[in-house]
């Protein structure tokens, strides 16, 4: 039986990943509790979602802070005051300082809408679409001091179809984001993640089914 993990979720926008985490918790499929949702954007729809589910929120805007570190100090204090163990970045549009990351060592997760290390940074879906890859996807990783560079926990592969637009591809990727983020947090809660350098080992977990996939499919003559 997994213990309950206290989460702090950081958001800036729509919060559909937040919603999938809330839904999993309410369904009993994710042994976690969201202690606080912090937004840097007072207009984030994620805050409406939080209100609907009675989850405490804090809005911390960057205006008024002299430096990134001052801002992050306030963030860290807010998270710690609420007993947060694991920080979940769910569309939080700010780069975190080394000070923040040192405050939660190997306890900050991020989701990125591409198969890292390809297409880091903003608009990962568009970058992949414009590049013409045949597969893209999404990645949950532990955050480190780089941009989308930390040790990878789980990835989902999404094929790109000829009929796709950036929008349809983004939608299909987002659907997978909503599956892999709760799964990554569940594995953390179950104590199954071991970070070994760049690699995250997942203990006592089935290995993926092994057949490679091709896009377009390889036909046998």
Task: Select 154 or 174, whichever has its Cβ closest to ligand GRF.
Answer: 174
Tell the smallest beta-carbon distance from residue 181 to ligand GRF (Å).
8
Closest residue by Cα to residue 90 from 145, 156, 138, 151? 138
Could you tell me which residues come within 8 angstroms of residue 113 by beta carbon, excluding any fewer than 6 positions away?
Answer: 124, 125, 138, 170, 173, 174, 177
Alpha carbon distance 79, 190 (integer Å): 22
Helix or strand or coil: residue 128? helix
Tell the smallest beta-carbon distance from residue 77 to ligand GRF (Å).
24
> What Å distances lie between residue 133 and 47, 98, 107, 169, CA to CA?
35, 33, 32, 12
From 112, 123, 141, 205, active-site residue: 112
In this chain, which of 112, 150, 185, 200 binds ligand GRF, going by CB under 6 A? 112
Alpha carbon distance 11, 41 (integer Å): 8
Q: Quick check: 49 binds ligand GRF (CB under 6 A)?
A: no
Task: Select 113 or 182, whichever has its Cβ closest to ligand GRF.
Answer: 113
- Binding residues for ligand GRF restricted to 143-202, rule: CB under 6 A: 174, 177
What binding mask, one character per residue, do residues 3-42 give for ligand GRF by CB under 6 A, x or -?
Answer: ----------xxxxx-------------------------
Q: Quick check: 111 binds ligand GRF (CB under 6 A)?
A: yes
Tell the smallest beta-carbon distance from residue 177 to ligand GRF (Å).
5
Q: Counting Cβ atoms within 10 Å, is residue 159 exposed (0-12), middle (13-18) or buried (19+)?
A: middle
Question: Hey, how many other C-beta atoms are within 10 angstroms of the C-beta on 111?
Answer: 22
> Would you say how long the chain is, in residues?
221
- The question of whether 112 is a catalytic residue gets the answer yes
Tell the smallest beta-carbon distance from residue 155 to ligand GRF (Å).
12
Tell the smallest beta-carbon distance from residue 212 to ligand GRF (Å).
25
Q: Quick check: 78 binds ligand GRF (CB under 6 A)?
A: no
In this chain, which of 25, 35, 91, 156 binds ligand GRF, going by CB under 6 A? 91
Alpha carbon distance 182, 140 (integer Å): 10
Residues that bind ligand GRF (CB under 6 A): 13-17, 90-91, 111-113, 174, 177
Q: Which residues are catalytic?
A: 112
């Amino acid at each position: 039986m997994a213990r309950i993990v206290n989460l702090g979720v950081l958001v800036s926008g729509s919060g559909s990943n937040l919603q999938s985490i809330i839904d999993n918790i309410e369904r009993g499929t994710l042994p976690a509790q969201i202690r606080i949702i912090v937004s840097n954007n007072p207009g984030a729809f994620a805050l409406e979602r939080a209100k609907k589910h009675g989850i405490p929120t804090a809005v911390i805007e960057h205006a008024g802070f002299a430096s990134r570190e001052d801002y992050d100090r306030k963030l860290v204090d807010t998270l710690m005051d609420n007993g947060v163990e694991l920080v979940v970045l769910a569309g939080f549009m700010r780069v975190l300082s080394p000070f923040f990351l040192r405050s939660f060592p190997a306890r900050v997760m991020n989701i990125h809408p591409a198969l890292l290390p390809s297409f880091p940074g903003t608009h990962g879906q568009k970058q992949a679409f414009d590049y013409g890859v045949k597969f893209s996807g999404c990645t949950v990783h532990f955050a480190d001091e780089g941009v989308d560079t930390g040790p990878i926990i789980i990835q989902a592969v999404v094929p790109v179809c000829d009929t796709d637009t950036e929008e349809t591809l983004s939608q299909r990727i987002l659907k997978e984001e909503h599956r892999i983020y709760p799964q990554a947090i569940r594995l953390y809660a179950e104590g199954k993640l071991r970070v070994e350098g760049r690699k995250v080992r997942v203990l006592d977990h089935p290995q993926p089914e092994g057949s490679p996939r091709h896009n377009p499919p390889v036909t046998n003559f």
